[in-house]
Each structure stands twice: as structure tokens, then as C-alpha cells.
């Protein structure tokens, strides 16, 4: 039997919560072995796994494991259950009825069924949304809402989970995840999976919504964002650790993506843990 979870009510320990109209942003924490019984949500919800891992059970025997950095979407009233194998933190955004009515009036396409959004542009946007959410009261409401709308836009453009992703393209993604701070080229990853580089480029873009090079740049910027907030390392050191050629290259790319220089980004963050290290 599935219970209905009303908007604004969450399982797990709520660490931070913010509402913006009928959008609900929430960070929750779960202990190893925790189990969330069968339930559904009153409104659609996107969830970013910040750290740890969880197993999700859905209708028809569907079972998916979500790990840190992965994003997934649940439509309203879709039953599922979760079991947490490690200490886990999640960041979720509940999409209230006002937003859904706006999308309907705008002629937006339908939201999909349950879907794994790992390594898509939506996942990148969700990580940027969490970075903004971390700023607390300093976070811009316009920025928060804009990022949510961008994520929903990605959702409505996706065809849903019917297409089977080739196994080798996931291997390419995994290789890039491990080596994004190195000087790794398309030919290198293509050789590793035995697929022609042109086919790798086309398929990777189709599956993940960006080129291999763009994915690498995103991961480098994410790493640098964490280092800027959690350490007192110099910009030159962070640039090299993140995989950039030098501080000038790093600063230019960082501003293109984030809209601020690395120094301005660091100064704008009100809470820092100088002894923590980036993942």
C-alpha cells in the first residue's frame, strides 16, 4: 500500500528547507539502512543525490540505484520506495501546481514518467541550483526560479526512458568522470571502448545533451566551485588541480559558466569550511 506525501512534507531529517511560491526546495539526510516505505508525492519532484546512495523500487518491479551526483524525476502520484545503503543526502525540488499551470498555458510538452537524468544538462542545472540554494537568504529568487524552469524545460524535451542507452557510452561517461582533471581527448576515450570517435561524439551528445568536451568542462568547474568554497587554496593551485592549463584559462572559463570570476564567487559565499577538501 502506498501513502501520499503532501507537498512540504519529507521523509528523512530535513537539514534545510525553503519555499518560493509553491516551489519547495529541501535538503534531507538519511542514515545507513534507512527505509522509506511505498509512497507517492502530491506534486512532481526532481531529486539530486548529493552524496551516498539509495535503491529505488518502483512499479512493475523497476529497481534503480542512484549514487552521489545523480538526478532523477518523479511525476505526481507515482508510487515508489527507497532503501539507503549509506549515509545519504538529497536535494529535492517540488514542482507545485502554479508552475505546472504556467507550463500548460505556455504549451510546454508533457512531463515524463519516472526517469533517470544522470549526466544530462538537467543534472548540471540541478547542481547549479543546489549551489545557489546553499547561499540561503542571499540566494536570488529569480536565479532559483530560472534554474528550475530550465530543468523543467529539459524534462519536457526528453522522450522518456524508453530508449536503451548503449553500454559503451556509459563506460565513456565513467572514464570521463574519473579522468576529467587530466588532458583526455575524444580519441583516448574512443580507443578505450573500441568505437569510432565520430560515433562516440554523436552518441554521447544524444544521450547526455552535450559534447564530451563540454561535459569535461562542466565537471572541472564543479570541482573548482567546491574548492573555492571549502579551501583557502590559491586560484592558481585550484586552476591546476581542476585540470585547467593556467589561472587565466580557468578564470575565463569559470566566468563564462558561472557569471562571476573565481574571486568574486569565493567572496560571495557566506559560509566556508576551510579545512574540508574537494571530492
Pairwise pLDDT comparison (111 vs 269), residue with the higher score: 111
Q: What is the pLDDT of residue 238?
A: 94
Q: What is the pLDDT of residue 160?
A: 46
**At 107, is the pLDDT very low, low, confident or very high (cuts 50, 70, 90)?**
low
* Average pLDDT of span 227-238: 90
What is the number of other CB atoms lying within 10 angstroms of the CB of residue 53? Answer: 17
- DSSP code per residue over 85-117: SS-EEEEEEEE-HHHHHHHHHTTPPPP-SSEE-
pLDDT for the residue numbered 85:
83
Instruction: Confirm whether 3-157 and 214-268 share one CATH topology.
Output: no
Closest C-alpha to 98, from 194, 165, 19, 195: 19
pLDDT at 120: 66
DSSP symbol at 245: S
Q: H or E element: which one contains 266? A: helix 262-268
Among 103, 76, 169, 93, residue whose Cα is nearest residue 128: 93
pLDDT over 60 at 106, yes or no: yes
Residue 255 pLDDT > 80: yes
Higher-scoring residue by pLDDT: 1, 237 = 237
Give the global pTM.
Answer: 0.58
Residue 270 has pLDDT above 90, yes or no: no
Note the pLDDT of residue 277. 41
Domain spans of the chain?
A: 3-157, 167-209, 214-268
Which helix (H) or strand (E) segment is 67 a member of? strand 63-67
pLDDT value for 272 = 39
Question: Per-residue confidence at 197, pLDDT binned at 50, 70, 90?
Answer: confident
Q: What is the pLDDT of residues 112-162, one digit of tens each?
A: 666 766 656 788 888 888 888 887 766 578 788 888 888 888 777 755 444
Answer with the residue of higher pLDDT: 266 or 235: 235
- Over residues 34-72, the pLDDT tens digits come to 999 898 888 899 999 888 888 998 887 888 888 877 888
214-268, what's its fold?
Arc Repressor Mutant, subunit A (1.10.10)
CA 238/CA 150 separation, integer angstroms:
29
What CATH superfamily is the domain 3-157? Jelly Rolls (2.60.120.10)
Is residue 101 within 8 A of residue 146, CB to CB? The reply is no
Amino acid at each position: 500500500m502506498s501513502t501520499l506525501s503532501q507537498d512540504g512534507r519529507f521523509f528523512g531529517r530535513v537539514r534545510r528547507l525553503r519555499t518560493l511560491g509553491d516551489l519547495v526546495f529541501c535538503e534531507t539526510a538519511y542514515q545507513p539502512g534507512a527505509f522509506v516505505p511505498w509512497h507517492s508525492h502530491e506534486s512532481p519532484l526532481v531529486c539530486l543525490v548529493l552524496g551516498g546512495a539509495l535503491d529505488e523500487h518502483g512499479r512493475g518491479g523497476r529497481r534503480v540505484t542512484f549514487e552521489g551526483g545523480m538526478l532523477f524525476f518523479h511525476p505526481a502520484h507515482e508510487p515508489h520506495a527507497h532503501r539507503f545503503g549509506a549515509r545519504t543526502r538529497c536535494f529535492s525540488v517540488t514542482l507545485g501546481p502554479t508552475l505546472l499551470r504556467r507550463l500548460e498555458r505556455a504549451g510546454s510538452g508533457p512531463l515524463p514518467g519516472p526517469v533517470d537524468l544522470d549526466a544530462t544538462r538537467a543534472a548540471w542545472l540541478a547542481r547549479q541550483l543546489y549551489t545557489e540554494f546553499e547561499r540561503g537568504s542571499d540566494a536570488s529568487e529569480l536565479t532559483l526560479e530560472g534554474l528550475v524552469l530550465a530543468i523543467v524545460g529539459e524534462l519536457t524535451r526528453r522522450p522518456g526512458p524508453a530508449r536503451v542507452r548503449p553500454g559503451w557510452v556509459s563506460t565513456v561517461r565513467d572514464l570521463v568522470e574519473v579522468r576529467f582533471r587530466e588532458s583526455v581527448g575524444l580519441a583516448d576515450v574512443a580507443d578505450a571502448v573500441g568505437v569510432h570517435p565520430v560515433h562516440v561524439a554523436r552518441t554521447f551528445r544524444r544521450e547526455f545533451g552535450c559534447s564530451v568536451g563540454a561535459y569535461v568542462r562542466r565537471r572541472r568547474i564543479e570541482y573548482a566551485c567546491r574548492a573555492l568554497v571549502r579551501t583557502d587554496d590559491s586560484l592558481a593551485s585550484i586552476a591546476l588541480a581542476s585540470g585547467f592549463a593556467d589561472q587565466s584559462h580557468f578564470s575565463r572559463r569559470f566566468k563564462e559558466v558561472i557569471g562571476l570570476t573565481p574571486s568574486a564567487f569565493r567572496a560571495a559565499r557566506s559560509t566556508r569550511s576551510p579545512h574540508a577538501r574537494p571530492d
